[in-house]
Each structure stands twice: as structure tokens, then as C-alpha cells.
Amino acid sequence: MFLRKIEYFEFPDTIGHWSIKDLNLVKINLLAGKNASGKTRTLDVIDNIRTIILKGIPAIYPHTGRYYAEFTDISDIYQYTLELSSNRIANEELVINNNTMLERKESGIGKIFATKENKMIDFQIPDTRPVLFSRQDTIQYPYLQKMFDWAENLRVYNFGGYLGKDKGLSIYVKDTSVIPTPNSEDVVWFFKQALKQFGDTFEKIILEKMRILGYNLTKLWANPYVSPYNGRALLVLCTMEEHREDLLFQTQMSQGMFRALSLLIQITYNIMSNLSSTILIDDIGEGLDFERSTKLINLLIELAENNDNIQLIMSTNDRYVMNKVPFKYWQLINRKGGECNVYNYQNSKEIFDEFKFTGLNNFDFLATDFINSKQEQK
């Protein structure tokens, strides 16, 4: 199951009113836009939808607004709506293939389709709790399991952050399954799990991908490391570079090198585990030089194109990244005040094609404000 469309709308009485509408997603997406256009916030909205499904009302952003998400699973279309008013749920609805499966209004009273009874049944739950969060029951509500699976397999990576560089795995943890819901900081967990499941093949694949980026590594393993700050014994990633015999612990790697290594380990693990994953990457290319940034983008796009189970949603401010990613993957966010409009190859093909004839590079499509100039001519 993948995301097909999202909208988010904060009601006008909300301080800092903000909205994004008609973000129609495809398999590979690059959120592009000027600084403060709403790229990171859009990724946060998607992550909030995951939180709503797994944990309830999200902890960030004003809690007075409307979420709308469309999911696609082969031939099935899921349309989910959640409206919040002062941290309370005013409306919640799920429609699958034009059939209403869930509807509830204020006070927590509503109806949901029960598969075993083959009918809509009444329910009442607190108006602070989404129904999805309360109904993980594969007998009565098997159709919801696909949404739970999507939420559990959503992966969020802030490429401008540490991605686990400052975090290891306790050396005393023998069973790595003790981390039930790993996140992007748990790269050592992913690496240990991958070795357990796929053996040396996994290490060879990661080393080859790192060589493509220009990092010539000969070995990769998890090695004990004692923190000089608190004396804790941790397992951390360790490697050796070609023509050098010194160990290189993850704490000693350049930030750009470790970000690329961490990202490739985690995404490759998802692919080899046959997990259907929507992958969010904020600030892709941050901390890498032009050549390595370009190669990483090529590698990620290739991985997504060649694997049916991966949906890729990236954001960037990097002109080199924008120049490398074809327009067919662009989602250009154009913010005016608190309203974000999205232009892509599906809804603005003529404008994108017209720009190609200028001979300028992709980044200039943004820098010259080409979209707004064309809108003004209409």
C-alpha cells in the first residue's frame, strides 16, 4: 500500500494558518521549493498520518484542522479523513472503493463496518481517540490491517541529522528483536538483523553501494566500543578503508559518509526483507559533495524504480539534487501566505515542457520563479 494523495488544512482561526492541497504522489517524488516553502512540514504531515494510525492524535502542529489521505493497494483505493477541533475529533471517515466503512462525528459516536457481521455497527469511544488507533482486529476489521502495515513500515530519515551516528546498540543485548519499532537512529539494530537474516551477502551489497558513491571500504561489521563519555559498552558500526589497516568506528566517520551508509543499510534491509515501505527523506544530499550527492540520488531512484515495494518521497534545497532529478518526479511546492499549492508533471505538464526549451537547468525552473510567471500570464 502506498500514498496516492494527501491534503492538510488548518482551520482559519488557527494561529499560523497553513495548508497544502492536491499533493498527488507517484512512486518517486522530489519535494522541491524555496526555503520555508513547506517541504519539511509536508513530510511531517505524512508522518503525522502514521502517528494517527498507530498512536492517536499527533503531538505536533495545531490540533485544529483536517487531514485527508488517499492510499492505493493494487485495485483498492482507501480515502481517510480526520478533522480535529481543539484536540478533539470532530469527524472521521474511511471510504474504500466508494464504500463507506467508517463514519463518526463529534462525541465519539459512529458506525464502522464489521466484516464478520457483514454490516455497519454502532460504537462510541472518547472523542480524543481516532477509531483506527482502536481497531486492530483482523477478524472484524481486516481491511484496516493494510493501513496498519503501511504505518508500521513508513520510514522517516532526516538526512541533515545524525541518522544514528551518536547511537549504538547495547553490547548486552543478545536478542536484537527487543527493539519492536526501530527508527532511523537504530542503524546498528538494522545491520545486526540484516546479517542474521542474509549473512555476508548483505555486507557485500552495502560495500558495493558505498563504492558506487566513492567510498572504497573493504569490510563492515558491528564492533564493541566503550564510550569515553559515560563508559557504556556499545556495538557500533566499524569499517576499514582500502589501502588502510586502521579501524574506522562510526563516531570517526565523516557525517556525510555515515549518513549515506546508514540510509543504504536501512533501505536495503527493507528491500531484502520484502517490506512494502513508503520512505521519507528530508534534505537529501545534505553534507555530501556534488559528485556523491548525485550518485546517491541516482542510486535511490534506481532502487525505487526496480522494487515494486518502495515508494520514495524526498525533499531538497540542493540545486545539484534538483538538477539531477527528472521533472517527472518533481512536486514543486509554491507557498503564498499560508497556502501551499503543488505543481507536478501530472497537473502542469505543458509548463514543465515549455521550460525545457529554455535550455536552462532544472534548478533555474525554481530560481526564475517560472511557475508563478506562467500563472500570471493566464
Q: What is the pTM of this model?
A: 0.91
Residue 217 lies in a domain: yes
- Domain assignment present for 77: yes
Q: Mean pLDDT over residues 211-218, rounded? A: 95
Residue 247 confidence (pLDDT) above 60? yes
Range of the domain at 346: 2-163+278-377
Are residue 359 and residue 339 in the same domain, yes or no? yes
- Average pLDDT of the residues in 166-174: 70
In this structure, the number of other CB atoms found within 10 A of the CB of residue 25 comes to 23
Residues 126 and 11 in one domain: yes
Q: Do both 153 and 183 map to the same domain?
A: no
pLDDT in tens, 86-143: 778 889 999 999 999 999 987 778 999 999 999 999 998 888 888 887 777 889 999 9
Place of cell 477478524: 139
Domain shared by 119 and 205, yes or no: no
Residues 316, 30 contacting (CB under 8 angstroms): yes
Q: Is residue 262 part of a domain?
A: no
Same domain membership, residue 205 and residue 61:
no
Beta strand 217-226 pairing with 233-241: antiparallel
Tell whether 263 is covered by a domain: no
Strongest mean pLDDT among 18-27, 179-188, 229-238, 318-327: 18-27
Of the candidates 335, 338, 330, 340, the one whose C-alpha atom is nearest the C-alpha of residue 369 is 335
* Residues in contact with 301: Cβ distance below 8 Å, sequence separation at least 6, in sequence order: 28, 312, 325, 329
pLDDT in tens, 335-376: 988 899 999 999 999 999 999 888 889 999 988 888 888 776
Q: Which of 364, 354, 346 is nearest to 25 (CA)?
A: 346
Per-residue model confidence (pLDDT) at position 224: 85
Q: Round to whole Å and give the CA distance between 147 and 344.
A: 26
Question: Which of 213, 250, 252 has the alpha carbon at shortest distance from 235?
Answer: 250
Judgement on whether residues 157 and 192 belong to the same structural domain of the protein? no
- Same structural domain, 328 and 242: no
Judgement on whether residues 225 and 97 belong to the same structural domain of the protein: no
Place of cell 527493539: 179
